[in-house]
């Protein structure tokens, strides 16, 4: 049976960051069916509302993956489906985007709250700032940020705020622990949004998972280094297929 991988994008930037990665995957593994599924356009900040819509929309018995917020949602959906999910992969994704007393490696709560307030006042300017944060650490950060901004879809401010609330409310730690299938969590070494140090926290949650790191790349490494990310994904899929 032909393997199918469904990828979910991150907050606010649509499918563009994943499109080049998908082309790289198709070029390296024509037998793999890869699709990008848009995130829900909801004004709700409750992760469960987003999760239920995705569960209703997406076919079962596929690999689930995603970049940033998309990876967080993929983790929870994989745990919900259990044996009805082939496996999970996340890209520059943190189980808890916002840091807390029991999860130190995330965005400080005050910084995140200020970001939400800024989005409430001017969502367009905030999304531009987000593009710059995503590309920070890349060799060609400004060019990468311009690509991200140019491909960003038109979304209602309420939807953007809803997505930020999901980011702030999300805690995917138990999902990683509950899902018994193969898992790859790929991190970016120069990520300004998801610290590479989260690798140790992930392994503490579930020692049987695979955590990978690509050095000297930004949060937007799916667009910055698509072939390197694709190669890491395919190596993981091949290894999981032989287990």
Q: Decide if 236 contacts 210 (C-beta within 8 A).
A: yes
Please state, in angstroms and rounded to a whole number, the distance separating the CA atoms of residues 137 and 127. Answer: 18
Enzyme catalytic residues: 68, 191, 219
Q: For helices 123-135 and 109-121, give the axis angle rounded to 10 degrees.
A: 140
DSSP percent split of the chain into helix, strand, coil, nearest 5: 50, 15, 35
Burial class of residue 56 in the structure, from the number of CB atoms within 10 Å of its CB (0-12 exposed, 13-18 middle, 19+ buried) = exposed
**Could you identify the residue written with the tokens 């091949």?**
238
């Amino acid at each position: 049976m032909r393997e199918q991988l469904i990828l979910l994008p991150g907050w606010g930037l649509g499918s563009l960051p994943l499109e080049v990665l998908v082309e790289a995957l198709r070029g390296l593994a024509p037998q793999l069916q890869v699709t990008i599924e848009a995130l829900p356009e909801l004004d709700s900040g409750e992760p469960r509302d987003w999760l239920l819509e995705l569960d209703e929309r997406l076919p079962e018995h596929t690999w689930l993956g995603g970049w940033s917020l998309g990876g967080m949602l993929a983790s929870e959906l994989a745990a919900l489906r259990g044996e009805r999910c082939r496996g999970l992969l996340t890209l520059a994704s943190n189980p808890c985007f916002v840091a807390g007393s029991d999860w130190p490696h995330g965005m400080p709560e005050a910084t995140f709250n200020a970001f939400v307030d800024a989005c409430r006042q001017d969502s367009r300017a905030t999304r531009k700032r987000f593009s710059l944060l995503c590309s920070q650490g890349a060799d060609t950060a400004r060019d990468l940020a311009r690509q991200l901004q140019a491909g960003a879809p038109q979304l209602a401010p309420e939807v953007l705020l809803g997505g930020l609330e999901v980011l702030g409310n999300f805690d995917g730690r138990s999902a990683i622990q509950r899902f018994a299938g193969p898992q790859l969590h790929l991190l970016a070494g120069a990520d300004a949004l998801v610290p590479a140090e989260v690798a140790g926290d992930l392994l503490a949650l579930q020692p049987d998972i695979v955590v990978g790191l690509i050095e000297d790349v930004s949060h937007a490494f799916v667009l910055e280094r698509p072939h390197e990310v694709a190669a890491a994904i395919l190596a993981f899929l091949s290894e999981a297929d032989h287990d």
